[in-house]
Amino acid sequence: MRENVVILDFGGQYNELIARRVREAGVYCEVVPYTTSLEKIKAYAPIGIIFTGGPNSVYLPGSPQADPDLFRLGVPVLGICYGCQLIAHSLGGRVTEAQDDSAREYGKTVTYFDTTCPLFKGIPEKSVTWMSHGDYMERVPEGFKLVSHSDACPNVGIADEARGFYGVQFHPEVNHTEFGKQMLRNFLFEICRAKGDWRMSDYKNEAISAVREKVGGGKVLLALSGGVDSSVAAALLAEAVGDQLTCVFVDHGFMRLNEGDEVEQAFSKWNLNFVRVDAEERFLSKLKGVEEPERKRKIIGEEFIRVFEAEAKKIGKVDFLAQGTIYPDVIESGAGNAAVIKSHHNVGGLPDYVDFKEIIEPLRMLFKDEVRQLGRELGLPEYLVSRQPFPGPGLAIRVIGELTKEKLDTLRRADFIFRDEVAKADCEASQYFAVLTNTRSVGVMGDGRTYDYTLALRCVTTSDFMTAEWTRLPYDLLDRVSTRIVNEVAGVNRIVYDITSKPPATIEWE
């Protein structure tokens, strides 16, 4: 049986980033709500438990609490931020609101460590961590010692080494904490004694077996966009059930320039039942007059399902709908107590009634980098595996405001120029695209006055798509892109560059 770490979700926005760090270390983990029963947690046979951060105060009525019997399982526990305070609160300590503003810590903070503590083994005695807490551990529980402090706060880290309980007020999972990854590795390998047996090759075989068992002799219908997620899902399902799979490419009219034809061509030699549906007019008519981003996503999600239902009826009885949903989709659509950032058409946008027996999501527990690894394990070509992320609603959420075919065609041409120039410049960037804003401004072209749209360029660098930095593209590249778009694309007379990171922004504008 593969070793497992259980991550209890208390509602913080970085919770699944903890999971990604754990898996990067070669240890499998799953994120479950804090309300998960003790029996279900025991069924995971965890080698360790991690309590995540969260927005609440542990001492207030109604705040999320952990089952006290978790501390009697004989399993190491690491608490992060709220999770640290929860350990203290649950085991007899005292947590209060910080009365002194200096005890509230937010952002990068110089922190000091007792490096004899197993959690901080092999790291410097002083480094920078990322803090985000307004509460204070006034008294730590009996049996705990202080193992970390800052200039403002004496109890940044606590440890009861005899029982394997550790807590930190900062966030080791974020890149801003300089040695955070090492701390998490120490928890896994020094404290939990993990072997590190999480391998993508094993996941591939397990996922194929699970799909075969679930599907049996049934038929499967998959939405194939040609993006990384749906392509990997298609390859996995094809290997699992072969000709029981039909892949439907819904051309909703929101694809990038020439992309519909490229998707069809890319899969023309595959042993797949490939169906292309031209649904541009259908989608545009449904979205006429709609400006609000969430409504766009919901409408597109429902129309996707309705198109699949129609195709299913044409090809006969279909038992399962398959989707390329991945972990970040689930996270941003609101997992556990976390806030909904935006709904994804293949998660939050599903209608209440779906005319299939069940939905299959073989990639639901994987992060983007893990999906790419799985694609390579399945033998997908690198040009598909390395393709930039592209949202399910496509360009519909990159045109701000109401959609029209003219706006979409304008964005398609401008977006192609931007992506073409960035690719030729060989810049290190993870995702880059154009957004057609709903703002028009006065300009001059030749001897005439124009009143056209403002186009925004977005380019980010990231390793996990949970957080992202805006990319410092060279000025001459931006100048070249701006000149080309204004001269080659009618309807655009102003170009702006988005220099906002994630957070506070999301990567997409809508």
Question: What 3-state class would DSSP assign to 452?
Answer: strand
Q: Which of 105, 173, 303, 370 is catalytic?
A: 173
Helical residues (DSSP H) of 170-227, grouped into ranges:
180-185, 200-215
391-394-397 Cα angle (round to 5): 90
How far is residue 290 CA from its own chain's centroid? 26
Q: Which of 81, 117, 153, 459 is catalytic?
A: 81
226-347-217 Cα angle (round to 5): 70
- The contacts of residue 123 (CB under 8 Å, 6+ apart) are 113, 115, 179, 182, 183
The verdict on whether 81 is a catalytic residue reads yes
For residues 5 and 44, give the distance between their C-alpha atoms in angstroms, rounded to a whole number. Answer: 8
Angle between helices 368-377 and 200-215 (to 10 degrees): 80
**Residue 345 in tokens:** 């058409």
Beta bridge partners of 127: 111
Q: Under a CB-based contact definition with an 8 Å cutoff, are residues 150 and 111 in contact?
A: yes
Task: Please state whether 176 falls in left (phi above 0), alpha (psi between -120 and 50) or beta.
Answer: alpha
Query: What is the biggest distance separating any 2 CA atoms in the chain, rounded to whole angstroms?
Result: 80
Q: Under a CB-based contact definition with an 8 Å cutoff, are residues 224 and 376 in contact?
A: no
Q: Under a CB-based contact definition with an 8 Å cutoff, are residues 173 and 184 in contact?
A: yes
Nearest Cα to Cα of residue 267 among 240, 244, 233: 233
Kindly provide the b/e burial profile for residues 245-262, where b requires at least 16 CB atoms within 10 angstroms of the residue's own CB: bbbbbbbbbbbbbebbee
The verdict on whether 309 is a catalytic residue reads no
- Written as one letter, the residue type at 152 is A
Kindly provide the b/e burial profile for residues 371-395, where b requires at least 16 CB atoms within 10 angstroms of the residue's own CB: bbbbbebbebeeebbeeebbbbbbb
**Residue 460 in tokens:** 């980010």
Kindly provide the b/e burial profile for residues 400-434, where b requires at least 16 CB atoms within 10 angstroms of the residue's own CB: bbebeeebbbbbbbbbbbbbebbeeeebebbbbbb
Q: Which of 133, 171, 252, 345 is catalytic?
A: 171
**Residue 471 in tokens:** 């990319």
Question: What 3-state class would DSSP assign to 491?
Answer: coil
Annotated active-site positions, please? 81, 171, 173
